[in-house]
Structure 1
Amino acid sequence: MKKTAFRTLLATTVALILVAGTEGQVFSVAASGIRSLASPLQSDMFDTNRVHKLDVTLPFSVLAAGDIASCANGGYLGRTDRNLRYAVGLPRAEATPNEGMIDTTSILEQHPETAVLALGDLVYKRGEAVGFEDCYDPYWGAAWERTWPTPGNHEYHSPLAYAYFDYWQDRAGPDRSGYYALQAGNWLILSLNSEIDASEGSAQAKWAKEVLAAHPDSCTAAYFHKPAYSSVVRSGSNDARALFRLVAEAGVRFVLHGHNHFYERTAPLDAEGKPTEGGTIAFVVGAGGKSTQGNIEPAAFSERLIAGTTGVLKLTFTDEAAIWTYLTAPGSEETDSGLIPC
């Protein structure tokens, strides 16, 4: 075989592998890379310490949930077809939404002025660009301008979570690292990234320590996708545990997570996940559209666990406390509420 023919065959084979392996996303990835090179993501929303000051007065409220949009797409071949059509600008059939996302969208609509914390795994299965446009955006996307997201593992099923950062732009932080902080009155709320390095000495860990040290008098909270401690233990939580250890040692009052498709509230925990007075409470709010059915055995540190229904956590921040209520889908009488002193 001549070299030219061999090279053509090799190039064709590589192209087919890229198309197949990314379910057709390779063209969207290329377009995203070209856009990034042409106009790198910039932001004037954050100060030099990656902190955005919210234009609110206390008390103010937020809604929080993760694991949201999962539209029917015909499996591998259907996803590949939608990705290819998206990449070249061809029309696509309307995506069929999951019922749970419709229920939680109605909760957002009942609170039209309330900020939203999106806790990762925002569109399944791979967090691809066409998924954000066709599945997430027609529903939770109505709250785009009041949403502050954090990425989940499914966002990183697409290369470098390119679609997540393309969709959210600077609302995902001042660059494509996916971590930043929000300041509202005397509250500092850290949005951290459990999908990248959070070990001691990492850029994220150094920043988190610096920003917490720079606000010693603030009430503090945090949110990142994977829970460090939950009644359902899943793999790949080393960076989540590193983040929890960091914020617990700093005295952060509570953290919010998604990932597990139910609601859970733990007892106050120390940096190693042991119940302790005055520790950090962990909330899992991973039923923003997905919902685990059946019984789940609560861990010893779990104080409330609600499965079998979708829901959104409402938090109201005052000068002295954060007040929470778990809002569930229509037909469910399950709830949880309480107060965390600052």
Structure 2
Amino acid sequence: MKKTVFRTLSVALAAIVLVAATEGQVFSMAASGIRSLASPLRSSMFDTNRVHKLDVTVPFSILAAGDIAACANGGYFGRTGRNLRYAFGLPRTEATPNKGMLQTTSILEQYPETTVFALGDLVYKRGEAVGFEDCYDPFWGTVWERTWPTPGNHEYQSPFAYAYYDYWQDRAGPDRNGYYALQAGNWLFLSLNSEIDASQGSAQAKWLTKVLAAHPDSCIAAYFHKPAYSSVARSRTDDARALFQRVAEAGARFVLHGHNHFYERTAPLNAKGQPEQDGTIAFVVGAGGKLTRSKFAPAAFADRLITGTTGVLKLTFTNKAAEWSYLTGPESTETDRGTIQC
């Protein structure tokens, strides 16, 4: 009898610890795991090289930003309550959106046919399923069918970024590794994953080498969440630097990032992050909803830095060039524009 009671108490304690540690997500994660086992992600959108061909007419445009949805949720206990109510299908109060996300949503609405690149950290704080449904989806989610995402570190604060892959399905790639490529006109856009292994010999690095070799005449660009080089240096960027080095060596014209909550454009950089005339420009477009208001000096390699305002980068492509302009929120008249030759 005592052993039975002890086992029961142990199981109950383990359940409480799981609920507490995952802020109530354990039930959503379990359901996601069951769905994945029953029906693993497969996609007819991608060829055998994980490349999807976009149907575009040149010139075409793309809008890009990251670090987006951060609805008020009452902290730990509020998140846990919302996660549990979501998991058990119970009604929830309407999420209160962050002001910055409303501003960038209004920018997207001005370009109703334009493809969108979502640059990671799409739902704060932990990229949970209820956050995607209640906070991201009513706003940036209205352009789901024209969005191509890349995951950020906050998505991976939920185990295996399960909610990110559940929400995006095959728009996040043909499986749950989070990297793929898009071909549009003469451009090859590499959507890479800075949150998993990108070192030489990794599955991602091997695929990247293979897809680059298959498109030797394309204009190359890439997007992944963490910047390899920025005026605000952050930890855990080894994989981001490995990705930047590989695409820069391949002659990428530019790379798009989020992670830092401001706008930044570097000078052209070589594979080691040093200014070089024909190098790769790095854009940080991490004010898609979240915002850094503090002022700080730009790095020596930075050509433009805008803080204190939300914004979306608009790029317009021909087969030989890309024009960019930074579209800021209503609290700023600052912008940035220019042209990159292929």
Query: TM-score, normalising length from structure 1?
Result: 0.99
What does residue 132 of structure 1 align with? 132
Q: Secondary structure at the match of 1:313?
A: strand
- Distance in 2 between residues matched to 1:312 and 1:296, nearest whole Å: 21
1:194 corresponds in structure 2 to: 194
Q: Secondary structure at the match of 1:255?
A: strand
SS of the residue 1:314 aligns to: strand
Number of aligned residues: 342
Instruction: Give how far 1:331 is off.
Output: 3.0
Tell me the percent identity. Answer: 80
The CA distance in 1 between the partners of 2:3 and 2:44, in whole Å, is 51
Mapped to 1, the partners of 2:20 and 2:231 lie a distance apart of 36
Which ranges of 4 or more aligned residues in structure 1 deviate by more than 3 Å?
Answer: none
Q: For residues 120 and 204 of structure 1, what CA distance do their matches in structure 2 show? A: 18
- Following the alignment from structure 1 to structure 2, what is the Cα–Cα distance between the partners of residues 81 and 23? 8
Report the counterpart of residue 328 of structure 1 in structure 2. 328
Aligned to 2:14: 14
- Local SS of the residue matching 2:201: coil
Provide, for residues 119-171 of structure 1, a one-character-per-residue CA deviation record: whole Å limited to 9, x for no partner: 00000000000000000000000000000000000000001000000000000
Q: Distance in 1 between matches of 2:59 and 2:141?
A: 25
CA distance in 1, matches of 2:250, 2:103: 36
> Counterparts of 2:291 and 2:177 in 1: how far apart (Å)?
29
1:272 aligns to 2:272 (yes or no) = yes
> If the length of structure 2 is used for normalisation, what is the TM-score?
0.99
Deviation at 1:2, TM superposition (A): 2.5
1:44 aligns with 2:44: yes
C-alpha deviations, 1:21-78, integer Å up to 9, x for none? 0000000000000111111111000000000000112111000000000000000000
Q: Calculate the aligned-residue CA RMSD, in Å.
A: 0.7
Q: Determine the C-alpha separation between the residues in 2 that align with 1:299 and 1:331.
A: 25
Counterparts of 2:296 and 2:78, CA distance in 1: 33
Give the counterpart letter for 1:212 in structure 2. L
Corresponding letter in the other structure for 2:39: S
* Partner in structure 2 of residue 168 of structure 1: 168
Matches within 5 A, 1:1-342: 2-342=2-342
Structure 1 unaligned segments of length 5 or more: list them.
Answer: none
- Alignment-mate amino acid for residue 84 of structure 2: L
Superposed displacement of residue 5, structure 1: 1.7
Unaligned runs of 5+ in 2: none
Counterpart AA for 1:45: M
Deviation string 1:259-305 (CA, Å, 9 cap, x unpaired) is 00000000000111000010000000000001100212100000000
Q: Once the 2 structures are TM-superposed, how far is the Cα of residue 3 of structure 1 from its aligned partner?
A: 2.2
Distance in 2, matches of 1:293 and 1:330, equals 15
